[in-house]
Structure formats: structure tokens, C-alpha cells
Amino acid sequence: MNSGRTVRVSKYLSRHLRHDPGRIGIRLDAEGWVRIDELLAAAAAHGFPFSREELDHVVAVNDKQRFAVEGARIRARQGHSVTVDLALAPVEPPPYLYHGTVARNIAAIRAEGLRPMNRHHVHLSADRETATRVGARRGRPVVLPVDAGAMHAAGHVFLRTDNGVWLTDAVPPRFLRFAAGPTEHGTAS
């Protein structure tokens, strides 16, 4: 499977397993799962056919492990804008987590903190490197440390997905660490 096709199938899966399943006539269960045969049939019926082998390839090579396959069903691990219950138990976070963004968002983040926007949770990374890659998708990255330990002590709930993404409802500005400006590597510390 060529890389262009892999990207197209991955984006198709993200769109329909996270945001718009009804567009192709599939229905996610309460935890976000759909039968793979139903997904493949719906995709083909809506002009984007792909095989089970292609789906398995996309799931296996996705660098962020965005999708989970369990037997004959598939779901997105996180990032939903449709209502699903990922059945994740609250866990104690490490002292610091990280959020990757770009400089044009910093003023709003200083004022409002991190909000989930059209998703159900704010996504955080366990390390600066991952947060840098996340921020770089939209331009020159800025990495904001999040005082997750203090947030947890203040009663904020954290969840961790199987692929290592940390989720929380929001991050108030007081738990973010802003630098005077981006460093030479484009990160704030």
C-alpha cells in the first residue's frame, strides 16, 4: 500500500470513527466501536472502497496508534467530537504533561487555558518530543508544560488512552507554564 493511499484511508477512518459516522450510515456503539464489515461496506457504498488488508495496514503503521481493533470491530482511541464513552478509568498523571501548539494560539491560551474545542477532552503528551510533533502539524511548534500534578491535587481528572495520550476536560491557565517567548527550538519552557 503506497503512503498516499495509507494517509487517505487513515483520514477517512478518523473522520468517520471520530466525527461523522452518520455521513456514511454507520452507527458507533456507546464505546465508539463499529463492526469492521459494516464499515467496509459503508465505505464502499459511499465511493471509498478499501479492503480489510488495507485497514489492518493503516492500523498497524499509524504512528500515533489512533485506532484499536478488537476482533471484528474497530474504533478510534480518542479525539471524538461525537459522544462516546471510551471506558477509561481515571489515573494519576505524572507531575508534568505537555501540550503542543503554535504561537498564534498563545494569547488565547493565556487567557482561557486549554479547552477541548470540538473534542470531548484536551489532549496532552507525556513528553516534549511528542508535543513538539503535535504542534508542528500546524506550523512552528510551541510546547507548553502543564502542571498535571497540581491539577490532579486540585481535583482535575485525567484519563490515559492505550496509546499514551493523556486526556482531561480542560487546563486552566494557572496550570500552564509560559516562557517569555519561544526558544531556539520553538518550545516554551
Statement: residue 145 has pLDDT above 70: yes
Other C-beta atoms within 10 Å of 166: how many?
23
Q: Are residues 102 and 169 in the same domain?
A: yes
Q: Are residues 42 and 112 in the same domain?
A: no
Q: pTM of the full predicted structure?
A: 0.76
Long-range contacts of 156-159 (CB under 8 A, 24+ apart): 157/90, 158/90, 158/91, 158/92, 158/93, 159/86, 159/88, 159/89, 159/90, 159/91, 159/121
Q: Are residues 167 and 112 in the same domain?
A: yes
Boundaries of domain holding 62: 3-76
The Cα–Cα gap between 86 and 96 comes to 23
Q: Are residues 9 and 45 in the same domain?
A: yes
Mean pLDDT throughout 66-77? 94
- Whether 154 is in a domain gets the answer yes
- Whether 84 is in a domain gets the answer no
- Whether 184 is in a domain gets the answer no
- Whether 186 is in a domain gets the answer no
Q: What is the pLDDT of residue 86?
A: 86
Q: What is the pLDDT of residues 122-135, one digit of tens each?
A: 999 999 999 999 99
Statement: residue 186 has pLDDT above 60: no
Residue that finishes a domain, picked among 76, 109, 125: 76
Statement: residue 184 has pLDDT above 80: no
Reported as a pLDDT band with limits 50, 70 and 90, residue 180 is: low
Q: What is the pLDDT of residue 189?
A: 43
Q: Are residues 66 and 114 in the same domain?
A: no
Q: What is the pLDDT of residue 78?
A: 87
- Whether 188 is in a domain gets the answer no
- Whether 163 is in a domain gets the answer yes
Task: Report the percent of the chain where pLDDT is more than 70.
Answer: 95
Cα dist. 154→17, 31, 91, 150 in Å? 33, 28, 14, 6
Q: What is the CATH number of the domain that holds 9?
A: 1.10.10.970
- Whether 49 is in a domain gets the answer yes
Q: What is the pLDDT of residue 176?
A: 97
Q: How many domains does the chain have?
A: 2
